Structure 1
Amino acid sequence: MFDIRSRMSRVAIQVLATVIVIPFLLPLVAMVAGSLAGEGWGNYKKVFDTGMVPLYFMNSAIVAGVTILFVYVCTMLAAFGFAKLRIAGKEIYFWLLLVALTMPEAVLLTPLFVTASTFDMYNELIAVILPLAALQVPFTVLLARGFFEGIPTELMEAGRVDGANVVQVFWHIVLPLTKPIAGAIVVLTLINAWNAYLLPMLMLLDPAKQVVTLLPSFFISQYTNDQTGVLASAVITAVPVIVAYLLLQRSFERGLAAGALK
């Protein structure tokens, strides 16, 4: 751990951190300021007057919650297998999984649309949930594997000596130790699932099944372009993710740090 003793070093690091934050902070300030332009808080009332905010929030909560569940289960099982089990060719499988990280979401839209239509999943939330989960798993497995490799193998061997099988060792010994990395996985998946735009726009045609990121579309059409409504919708959309991050910030940071170190 670096120990910064001199006041000059602390000031320099603070200035550097401020300079780095400013480019990310200015768009947020502009978004909030723009959402209050003109009618002020009336812009937010205008968004809620559409009557779709509760429905869209519920759909987004379902998408995010189920996606988190799928990603968590797949990540924990895969990371445990790659880190602790003797599986023939597991390194090949691991690197093949990482190749998926190079696939941009936009490239996959057409095959995903064809697949959803073929299996009669188009215009259903599951058509958004499954691709979102699949796109998250490669990175979360990469992150979690480093954490699992840091868990002492002696703990598993002690469990096996006491008569526990692999499933029992995973459930009773290993899984309780993964809370820090689980917090990071939950936050990352929540942010990506809640903010998903391309997949919901493509897969969800029924207004009753659309998600909160499509809320600004109420204020943009062929004959209207209400930017105050768009910005107010964006602020409302961002609030749940910001609150969730603040609540889980400590677990998120601990999980990232733990996953980066063996």
Structure 2
Amino acid sequence: MVSTKGKKVRKNISTHLVLIFISCISLGPILLVVLNSFKSHAEIVRNPLSLPTVFHFENYVTAWETGKFSTGFINSMILSGITIIIVLIAASLAGYVLAGKRIKGSDGVLVYFMMAMTVPIQLFLFPLYYAMASLDLIGNIPAVSLILSATSMPLAVFLMRTFFLNVPRELEEAARIDGASTWQVIWHVMRPVVSPGLITVAVIVGLQSWNEYLITSTFLQGEDSFTATLGFLSMNGTYSSDQAILMAAAVIMIAPIVIFFVCIQKYFVDGMASGAVKG
């Protein structure tokens, strides 16, 4: 009995040590960026691992103004928000239909989405740019949201289909017997049950849209339409020799994502766990 308990204690200790080690590796670079964001460029070059002798808060003021983050954050929120709404509506309806095989050729549609996940977006950049330029939509944030929605749709559909598969069919059948329409079934019966899936898809799509560079740098031209990511990357040429300003800008970029994920991590983990039950 004692031997078994001792083995369990040693196993728990070793597990926690491994987790602590992994956490240090993951958080170390972020903490180093935060630390160096309060130092001068000379201090960073001299010793990037040292503590700042004087906290240079002006680095954040300069980074905020130079990166035009006041405009960039608004554009990023608009871009991510529109993309999330489009994907949630389309993927939810598609997942509901494909989970119940309510149309002919459902398996073929699933194969199509699976193949679409393997096709790189780079193949479509030129025709997309030609079409966007012809329609005078270069620099139009909602139009770019449609492109991001299309790239995120295959994975979102697969995830939402998985969540709908986990909903007992008896719930829908009972609602149908009570005279509920398809819209009422989806909104009042299915939506509350698959809400963890909606949160999971929203987080994944939101983070992808927020950090996206290739598509936004191609179609969002002009500083007025720059996202926060493009504003940060535009500083490389101006402040490539001043690491302190770039570190402060990186913290400004990272902070909203970290805060957002910490606030919704419980729902995100629960959604990923419940969505992995059935495929």
TM-score by length of 2: 0.85
1:189 aligned residue: 205
2:11 aligned residue: 9
**Residue number among 156, 159, 163 corresponding to 1:147 in the alignment:** 163
1:204 aligned residue: 220
Give the Cα separation in 2 of the matches to 1:51 and 1:146. 41
Give the secondary-structure state (helix, strand or coil) at the position aligned to 2:192.
helix
1:20 aligned residue: 22
2:190 aligned residue: 174
Amino acid across the alignment from 1:189: V
Shift in alpha-carbon separation, 1:21–1:116, aligned structure 2, 3 A: farther
The unaligned stretches of length 5 or more in structure 1 are none
Asked if the contact 1:190–1:241 (Cα under 8 Å) also holds between the matched residues in 2, the reply is: no
**Residue number among 98, 104, 112 corresponding to 1:96 in the alignment:** 112
Give the Cα separation in 1 of the matches to 2:28 and 2:124. 32
Matches within 5 A, 1:42-121: 42-50=58-66, 52-121=68-137
Shift in alpha-carbon separation, 1:169–1:33, aligned structure 2, 3 A: same
**RMSD over aligned Cα, in angstroms?**
2.1
Shift of 1:85: 4.0
Shift in alpha-carbon separation, 1:34–1:103, aligned structure 2, 3 A: farther
Shift in alpha-carbon separation, 1:115–1:228, aligned structure 2, 3 A: farther
2:262 aligned residue: 246
Shift of 1:92: 0.9
Report which stretch shifted further, 215-224 or 234-243.
215-224
Shift of 1:218: 4.5
Give the Cα separation in 2 of the matches to 1:95 and 1:118. 32
**Residue number among 108, 113, 122 corresponding to 2:138 in the alignment:** 122
The structure with more radius of gyration: 2
The unaligned stretches of length 5 or more in structure 2 are 1-6, 42-55
Give CA deviations for 1:55-75 in whole Å, capped at 9, x if unaligned: 111111100111110111111
2:4 aligned residue: none
Asked if the contact 1:35–1:43 (Cα under 8 Å) also holds between the matched residues in 2, the reply is: yes
Give CA deviations for 1:60-107 in whole Å, capped at 9, x if unaligned: 110011111011111111111111242111011012112121123444
TM-score by length of 1: 0.90
Give the Cα separation in 2 of the matches to 1:76 and 1:114. 31
Give the Cα separation in 1 of the matches to 2:29 and 2:131. 37
Asked if the contact 2:172–2:185 (Cα under 8 Å) also holds between the matched residues in 1, the reply is: yes
Shift of 1:36: 2.4
Give the Cα separation in 2 of the matches to 1:130 and 1:38. 42
Amino acid across the alignment from 1:6: K
Asked if the contact 2:162–2:275 (Cα under 8 Å) also holds between the matched residues in 1, the reply is: yes
Shift of 1:51: 7.6
Give the Cα separation in 2 of the matches to 1:200 and 1:44. 25
> How high is the sequence identity, in percent, across the aligned residues?
31
Aligned residues: 258
